Structure 1
Amino acid sequence: MDVEKDKLRQMHCEFNPLSRCDGSVMYSQGATGLIGAVLGPIEVKTQNLSIDGSYLECNYRPKAGLPQVKERIREAAIRDVLELALLSEAHPRSKMSVQIQELEDRGSIDACAVNCACLAMLIGGLPLKCSFAAVHCIINEQGEYVLDPDQSETLHQRASFTFAFDSVEGNLLLVQTKGAFKIAQFNDIECLCRSASAEIFQFYRSQVAKYHGRSEATAEKAEVMET
């Protein structure tokens, strides 16, 4: 396995930067940044009503202008992952809404958008069968594997891969490929991305635990002040 870079860029998140939603997150990975927001369960239009489960709405907005074909493809990929992870039967006859706003695309935007959506759903309390994490990797002109590349590293690439895994059994929820590659290279990069996804899941756990710990401490302080 010829690897040039096997480390993820630094991750950072801020919970609930938005007030008019059930949960939101500002997520960055390197210089790539997005905001995710969720609402639900909320009232659903008759044409989307289902007695078996909730209707999932997913919208992706670019940094500027109206969504183009590439944004619609990204939106569809995010929705596919969310539909696999969402426990829709928990809230039948209702709607779950996930909104993703791109702030800055400096590489690996597809994977970052999926991770942002997962954190937003976790903090918003939407019912999930499992959490999920996406990882992007490329093969550069020298045939080396570059994990979580930034924008400059993707200018001259032979092939591109994006994988999303669930947190329970490590099943593949999303596979996107572009370019020419060998099956052995595909298998190597899947293993590399699967290993990196464990770091993302650990990041989720630490950030959510920190947020709830802070929330509990704030509530306890308020109770003390009231007494």
Structure 2
Amino acid sequence: MEKQKDEKSGNEKLRQMSCEFNSLSRCDGSVMYSQGATIVIAAVIGPVETKTQNLCIDGSYLECNYRPKAGLPQVKERIREAAIRDVLELALLSESYPRSKMSVQVQELEDRGSMDACALNASCLAMLIGGLPMKYSFAAVHCIINEKGEIVLDPDLSEMQHQRASFTFAFDSVEGNLLLIQTKGSFKIAEFNDIECLCRAASAQIFEFYRSHLANYHGRASKETATTPMEET
């Protein structure tokens, strides 16, 4: 019985996260983000001048595009793109730059599970590193219930093949409010509540990841600027 508990607790951990900032040159900010073997690159541009048809007097227009690893976007990618846009619009402080456009581009590099959550997290980091005005940052977590009734946090592709129900939550960093809920499959209300609590706790790990890596990045940038010798005139 004790072994079963250990195995279950082992399924309640996020996969290893890593990121690389500003790997792209022709944008205002970019990040290559991974959770386990799932890899996404997100880039932001803006604020820039917008076309008349997208002009908003009291705020900025947000453009969001999601591209699959290969081929053209299908229905699944369009749904994912719409979910990302909805969360970004909630987090973006669009009033700061009226009559302008901000663009977020998300490119899937490798989908090995939990792509919806990874794409959202990459988008948040790209907005933070690109300096877009935000009300708060956000973190997304994916979780499933497998055929045995076990909860699996941040599942990989092989674990997702045996899911009975799937959940994706996104939380804001200020009050922990829910920004996104996506569910699929059959589950009980009690299971939903347990998984929400688990994902909320996991989001704290993602926010800590944001803070530590952004602090390291800005610390290195400041150090490099301070130690760069001045050119002779």
Q: Using structure 1 for the length normalisation, give the TM-score.
A: 0.97
Query: Does residue 161 in structure 1 map to residue 161 in structure 2?
Result: no
Shift of 1:199: 0.1
Q: Do structure 1's residue 109 and structure 2's residue 100 form an aligned pair? A: no
Q: What does the per-residue CA deviation read over 1:2-21, in whole Å, with 9 as the maximum and x for residues that have no partner?
A: 84511100000000000000
Of the candidates 206, 210, 223, which is equivalent to residue 217 of structure 1? Answer: 223
Corresponding position: 1:11 with 2:55: no
The offset of 1:225, in angstroms, is 4.2
2:157 is aligned with 1:144 = no
One-letter code aligned to 1:129: K
Q: Does 1:128 align with 2:128?
A: no
Q: Name the residue aligned to 1:89.
A: 95
Q: Does 1:30 align with 2:30?
A: no
Distance 2:140 2:133 in 1: 19
**What is the aligned length?**
225
Aligned CA RMSD, in angstroms, stands at 1.0
SS at match of 1:97: strand
Q: In 1, distance between residues paired with 2:120 and 2:95?
A: 22
Q: CA deviation at 1:226?
A: 3.6
1:183 aligns with 2:189: yes
- Mapped partners of 2:223, 2:32: distance in 1: 22
Query: What is the identity, as a one-letter code, of the residue corresponding to 1:12?
Result: S
Encode CA deviations 1:173-206: one digit per residue, 9 max, x unaligned.
0000000000000000000000000000000000
Q: What SS class does the counterpart of residue 175 from structure 2 fall into?
A: coil
Residue number among 39, 50, 62 corresponding to 1:44 in the alignment: 50
Aligned equivalents of 1:149 and 1:8: distance in 2?
8
Note the C-alpha offset of 1:221.
Answer: 1.3
- Alpha-carbon distance, 1:166 to partner: 0.1
Opposite residue 67 of structure 1, the aligned amino acid is P
Secondary structure at the aligned position of 2:27 is classed as: coil
Question: Residue type of the partner of 1:197?
Answer: S
Point out where structure 1 has 5 or more consecutive residues left out of the alignment: none
Percent sequence identity is 79
Distance in 1, matches of 2:41 and 2:25, equals: 13
Runs of 4+ off more than 3 Å:
224-227
Match of 1:193 among 186, 195, 199: 199
One-letter amino acid matched to 2:188: K
